[in-house]
Structure 1
Amino acid sequence: MIRYPILKEGATTIGVTAPSSGVEENLHDLVNRACDRLKLRGYSVVCGETVWTQHKAKSAPAETRAKEFNEMMQDENIDLIIPPWGGELLIEILEYVDFEHLKSKWILGYSDLSVLLLAVTLKTGLATAHGTNLIDLRGEYSDETTAMWQSVLSTKPGESIEQHSSPLYQKEWNHEAESPFVFHLTEQTHWKVVSGSGAKLQGRLLGGCIDTIRHLIGTPFGDVRHFQSAHIHNEPVIWYLENCELVTTDIRRSLVQMKLAGWFDHCSGIMFGRSGVNRPVENYTLEDIYEELSRELGIPVIYDIDCGHVPPQVTFINGAYAEVEVNEGKGTVKQCFRP
């Protein structure tokens, strides 16, 4: 069965730790502003030491990062963990994470953090949240899609919550131009479906950044078959995936590896986030990959959804039962927090 953390009503304490990358000194102001913004909204914020350091592509040695994460997960006074952002080498900490003693609390983030999110859900059945990171909460306002993270994480076990595709998305990052919303949302959002204008999916959600979660294949932290039998009674899975840096042929290799590893067994559909790095190889495009995958697996494939490095993002809960519907470019995601 799936266990869903419950956010306490009233004062909630957010723990900020950096299990992947920390924040260099010249960017500390971004963390401080995000923390101040959350405090104005009624949260208490506790930052760990790893947040403020970054050396050789990581915030700290793997054991140090894992120790701080374990302590925050076991701390009764911390209700929710939001790392500052992703990074590159989160996978190094997995062998030091105390999976057996993780208390039931939300972990929220994306990018390299999705390695930790997926590993926690697969190994323990504890639901985790793929969505905004701390840095992107520093704005005076949140767009309606990003702001849903609070409502989603406040959903009680047995209840449901519905999210909708965004009206607009951000085409490219512009850190020089400050915005009260953080993101510069200028482009029309349009969720697309291979071979049609509409699709309906039902199943348990799993996913993350394909660049990083693919490295869980063949490890004790990526046993999808065990998760399906032990935690969701072999219900179908809806995968949501997003690409940060990979060229098309590398995406294709990764998806084939997932297929051969059995990750797409009992899969009712796959959703792909928008990608800002669609680099074709010899005219081989992402759209070609989506069409091949849909045909090979005989399942619907939805793409350009609100997920990943081209914001804003729907908050997806690993382990939750979802009903996804796309029609004429608009998408609806209903997540049911059932065991």
Structure 2
Amino acid sequence: MKYPNPLQPGSTIAITAFSSGIAEKHEARFQVVKEHLLAQGFKVVVGDCLYGQEKHVSAPIEQRVKELMSFLTDESIDAIFPPWGGELAIEILPYLDFPKLKQVRPKWILGFSDVSTLATTLTSKLRWASAHCSNLMDLTPEALDPLTANTLKNLGTPIGAEFSQVASPMYASSWPDIVNNPKSGITPDTKSCWKWLVKPTSGTVIKGRLIGGCWDTLSHLFETEYLELKALSKSYPEGIVLYLENAEMSPAELTRTIFNMKFRGVFSHINGLLLGRSAAPDPDSEQALTYYEAIENSLTNIGIPVMIDLDIGHFPPNLTLINGAVVKVELDDVGVISQHLI
């Protein structure tokens, strides 16, 4: 696994929206976040592909690919941090020059949601470690919950070292009003608890090398050239731990997605499955399938341990998860996740 340099004061963070951009009403929030990065000693480079939401994207695909490749190949850049996710990062994948990227120093890709479409691809194809974590626009001085506040600190972990995180006791059921209160952090208001859907045959631990992200987008990549879990499992004898979070899929769509993963052999290539909190609402009808029924019906017979409701995804806060790190996830009374950057 090829780890980018640890992030620390003096590191340069490039900001580009290779999926959705920000609107004019988000400008005040962006300036708060940018100033917070500068105050922590980071250097910031802002690309041209940042503003705009036309047809779900910040700019035409040619412009987004060109800017992303320029940052990925720039030796002065240490990390690429989009403002947030979006819908169509998948369309940039065929246009990336992977042979060229193999010749350059790895850069951190940071964020969650559609950001993970690119992050997992770089980990799978290039063996670059990448990060699933709070999005750039979440990181204000008032983002004080431990998981969000320690995001960049975790990314400063030296290669060869490890860091641990503890399950958050509460999560936020809604996002803050960043337009009218640009400095606001999340307000955790709902009890949170990691749970076993399927416990290991012995013990209370899942181990392996970590990879994953947004279920909605990664479902289209499994066992394609962009996310080859079979190849990863052959490369790393410690095995693979896959983490996923559902943003918008209905229980029926989720069931189809899980069966698609079964048909492609995904579950035969991993040691365990970690699921974040689902952000998709259940149907109104009492007769309709629910999220928990969908995963219980579809995942209890896949032959591996499954943990659910972790701090991953669209109901914050978010763990910092390093794609490529060796992970140990423990769940007895309290959930603990430790990641070793080897």
The answer to whether the superposition gives a TM-score over 0.5 is yes
Aligned-residue offset at 1:24: 1.6
Distance 1:168 1:41 in 2: 27
Contact 1:168–1:188 (CA under 8 A) maintained in structure 2:
yes
1:219 aligns with 2:218: no
Aligned-residue offset at 1:337: 1.2
SS at match of 2:9: coil
Alignment match, 2:89? 90
117-126 vs 155-164, greater mean Cα deviation = 155-164
TM-score, normalization by structure 2: 0.91
Alignment match, 2:19? 20
Alignment match, 1:249? 252
Give the counterpart of 1:315 among 313, 320, 331: 320
Aligned-residue offset at 1:152: 2.1
Deviations 1:220-257 (A, max 9, x none): 2122222332x424x32211110111110111111111
Contact 1:4–1:127 (CA under 8 A) maintained in structure 2:
yes
Distance 2:212 2:154 in 1: 17
Distance 2:95 2:171 in 1: 37
Contact 1:6–1:155 (CA under 8 A) maintained in structure 2:
no
Distance 1:277 1:316 in 2: 22
Distance 1:129 1:89 in 2: 19
Alignment match, 1:105? 107
Alignment match, 1:268? 271
Distance 1:177 1:188 in 2: 27
Alignment match, 2:194? 191
> Amino acid of the residue matched to residue 41 of structure 1?
Q
Distance 1:240 1:128, change over 3 A: same
Alignment match, 2:54? 55
Distance 1:314 1:200, change over 3 A: same
Deviations 1:11-47 (A, max 9, x none): 1111001110111222222222110111111111111
Residues paired across the two proteins, number = 334
Alignment match, 2:118? 116
Aligned-residue offset at 1:306: 0.2
1:337 aligns with 2:341: yes
Aligned-residue offset at 1:181: 5.2
Distance 1:232 1:218, change over 3 A: closer
Aligned-residue offset at 1:213: 0.9
Contact 1:145–1:312 (CA under 8 A) maintained in structure 2:
yes
Distance 1:7 1:195 in 2: 35
Alignment match, 2:209? 204
Alignment match, 2:29? 30
> Amino acid of the residue matched to residue 209 of structure 1?
C
Contact 1:13–1:79 (CA under 8 A) maintained in structure 2:
yes
TM-score, normalization by structure 1: 0.92
Structure 1, unaligned runs of 5 or more: none
Alignment match, 1:159? 161
Contact 1:152–1:161 (CA under 8 A) maintained in structure 2:
yes
SS at match of 1:172: coil
- Aligned-residue Cα RMSD (Å) equals 2.1
311-320 vs 193-202, greater mean Cα deviation = 193-202
Contact 1:167–1:189 (CA under 8 A) maintained in structure 2:
yes
1:292 aligns with 2:322: no
Aligned-residue offset at 1:177: 6.8
SS at match of 1:50: coil
95-104 vs 66-75, greater mean Cα deviation = 95-104
Distance 1:195 1:220 in 2: 30
Aligned-residue offset at 1:8: 5.5
Contact 2:198–2:300 (CA under 8 A) maintained in structure 1:
no
Distance 2:147 2:252 in 1: 31
